Structure 1
């Protein structure tokens, strides 16, 4: 089965290269460092073995942040390499960690690319966030006796069904894994069902509960409030996908009838879509502005009220790393990917910033988190695109409801902390056993 899998990858390689080149025309960031996809990466500083952590994209990088900080503190002598699959994930990692770590793209799962990558990196430990199973890569790590961990691991119903279609390949791949730190009991059981040895799986909890507000949060938030000159109400449509922006704009048009000074902070999941979203604002007849230009002006203007902001009904955010601060401006946010079938996005950052959460029905990527929040009465779930405006007005107009949701949300957050300590204990215990 592994030979067939590898043959199909080689067969697809010309198409993958053509697709990557085509995407580079519309997304220049995709062209940079393209050779890393084939295993050609610069050796880490000092040419010494590293701890290697892989996080696919923005969400996984954010979830890995507490673990990365803990690794840097616990073993400052061993360099840390972060690989991602997407340009936005790489950009987010750089914003969070700067020059403290090295960066690269994960090579495609081709034997020659994997060999070249591992020969350059020489990892002493490999940590893969969530659920990324790469048969050739995992097999190469096993052959080199490099410990491999799946951390914050989860298995959705969809993934479980997919892996069951190729049971022998999945079992062979999981046999290369040293340990799995699953998000929930259900996830742990599913890993055992597809072939992971039960003694290698622990229920560690979800690292997303460990994310704290940035150190500069209050300072940045105070500056943003001055720039908005006290405008209210502000609401956020966060991490939206195609189709959801138009729903948010319709809801905002209705909100403007009741709150003429209200402003929508519209944050597409992929910043490259910002120009497209700004076009939607224009066609809807709403005054909009791009956030990146305002951010540049702010460096020169300081924290004074911004005329462009105060003349806009919609602010389209086309930069990464600002969402946490923007949540702090708003009493309520809609979390995207949930009114279209993308599985939803993380609601916890909004709750930490005292921002109540409205979500749609598609939340499978965060099923356990939303289940707990709903049981506690900490989120508002809507069914159908037409319900957003009504629920938005309801939550904005009811301060007691918002406070109840925020209090309940903080209790859920506090109750679920501890995953980081359990993950670090797993990594350190296995490290001790190999010494």
Structure 2
């Protein structure tokens, strides 16, 4: 079955390369360091035990950062961190510099994987959330390299997709040494697909183990003072938006600003999920008649309506500068994004209805009264309005979000405990 998968992969390789080339036009960073994706780079030289951690992009890397810091506290270890996207790569380099060995993850074909493993010689492979590849796990198993799924999650939609390739999925899951999974529902889905039940361990979601440093709190407070005109304006944030959502959000913001007395009482922070969309979204805001300032410009005018979050790695800071949070990827069928970051700041939460990638967290937040979902610009405008007009409601729902975030901590310690068994 793995051979068939490999043959299929190579038959599609021209298409994959064309897609990579196409993405390079939108995001030029995709055109760089192609050789790494085939396992071609200078071999790692170290006397330490090597732990390979794969994080697909920015979100997975930031979720893994507390775990990375814990692993780095063990001086016997050297971390190799791979990503798939240029934005993830940039975040690894900016955050960790030379304290880790970083390259792009290789394609999941035997020759690329074998070159990669020969160059880094890992003692342990850790992979975040759902990024499971059959040849990678098979190669690790063949070399007796333990492989652990970290913070595993599997939506009902993804489970249906894996089930269509059960002949490939079950052997792949069998090559995992242990799967540390966020909740029992997802664990049952993994087992139903062929993961041996004794390898499934429910640890919780390590994203809840988020830490807000004093420095971050101070910088967020300073940004909030600036954007709010020293507390005279309330700040809405629409975070991690995808194509098709920005128009809905701007329609809702237009409805808010059209109400009597609302013109100067609110500011919108709009943060597109992908950097290649930054300029397009900025143009969209200007075309609607809004005065837009860009975060990269480093200054703010009290006459501005929208701050475009066009920098990388500052979303947590921007949540801290806000009063109300809308989390994107949810008005379009993308599956939603992370509610835990705005919840950690005690913000009331809004989102669209497409939340299949974060179903458990969304349910926790909804049941606590922290999250309200909407399906249109009119509903979003109304949901914003309720919170803008009622400080007590903002406080109640924000406190509920923070309570959920605090009560679900502890997954990081459990995860580290299981990893230590393989070190």
Relative to the length of structure 1, the TM-score reads 0.92
Partner of residue 280 from structure 1, selected from 280, 284, 287: 284
RMSD: 1.6
Runs (4+) off by over 6 Å: none
Q: CA deviation at 1:270?
A: 0.6
Q: For 1:234-258, what per-residue CA distance to the aligned partner results, in whole angstroms no more than 9, with x for missing partners? A: 1111000111111111122222234
CA distance in structure 1 between the partners assigned to 2:364 and 2:29 by the alignment: 38
Name structure 2 gaps, 5 residues minimum: none
> Could you tell which deviates more after superposition, 369-378 or 407-416?
407-416
Whether the aligned pair in 2 keeps the contact of 1:233 and 1:259 (CA below 8 Å) is no
CA distance in structure 2 between the partners assigned to 1:90 and 1:259 by the alignment: 41
> Could you tell which deviates more after superposition, 150-159 or 23-32?
23-32
SS at the partner of 1:404?
Answer: helix
Evaluate the alpha carbon distance shift between residue 47 and residue 86 of structure 1 in structure 2; reply closer, same or farther with a 3 A threshold. farther
SS at the partner of 2:201?
Answer: strand
SS at the partner of 1:345?
Answer: coil
CA distance in structure 2 between the partners assigned to 1:247 and 1:45 by the alignment: 51
Q: CA deviation at 1:42?
A: 3.2
The residue that corresponds to 2:337 in the other structure is 345
Q: CA deviation at 1:392?
A: 0.4
Q: CA deviation at 1:282?
A: 1.8
SS at the partner of 2:335?
Answer: coil
CA distance in structure 2 between the partners assigned to 1:225 and 1:15 by the alignment: 46
Aligned pairs (5 A) from 1:382-421? 382-421=374-413
> Could you tell which deviates more after superposition, 387-396 or 399-408?
399-408
Q: CA deviation at 1:265?
A: 0.7
Relative to the length of structure 2, the TM-score reads 0.95
1:117 aligns to 2:121 (yes or no): no
Q: CA deviation at 1:309?
A: 3.0
The residue that corresponds to 1:301 in the other structure is none
Name structure 1 gaps, 5 residues minimum: 295-305
1:27 aligns to 2:27 (yes or no): yes
Q: For 1:295-353, what per-residue CA distance to the aligned partner results, in whole angstroms no more than 9, with x for missing partners? A: xxxxxxxxxxx4x4323211111111111111122210111011111101111111212
The residue that corresponds to 2:224 in the other structure is 225
Q: CA deviation at 1:49?
A: 4.6
Q: For 1:81-115, what per-residue CA distance to the aligned partner results, in whole angstroms no more than 9, with x for missing partners? A: 11111111222233333332221111111111001
Q: CA deviation at 1:373?
A: 0.9
Whether the aligned pair in 1 keeps the contact of 2:347 and 2:401 (CA below 8 Å) is no
The residue that corresponds to 1:3 in the other structure is 3
Partner of residue 426 from structure 1, selected from 408, 414, 418: 418
The number of residues matched between the two structures is 418
Aligned pairs (5 A) from 1:254-293? 254-257=255-258, 258-261=261-264, 262-293=266-297
1:380 aligns to 2:372 (yes or no): yes
Whether the aligned pair in 1 keeps the contact of 2:295 and 2:311 (CA below 8 Å) is yes
Aligned pairs (5 A) from 1:169-248? 169-228=168-227, 229-230=229-230, 232-248=233-249
Whether the aligned pair in 1 keeps the contact of 2:2 and 2:168 (CA below 8 Å) is yes
CA distance in structure 1 between the partners assigned to 2:47 and 2:112 by the alignment: 19
Whether the aligned pair in 2 keeps the contact of 1:95 and 1:321 (CA below 8 Å) is no
CA distance in structure 2 between the partners assigned to 1:170 and 1:55 by the alignment: 20
CA distance in structure 2 between the partners assigned to 1:222 and 1:416 by the alignment: 26
The residue that corresponds to 2:358 in the other structure is 366
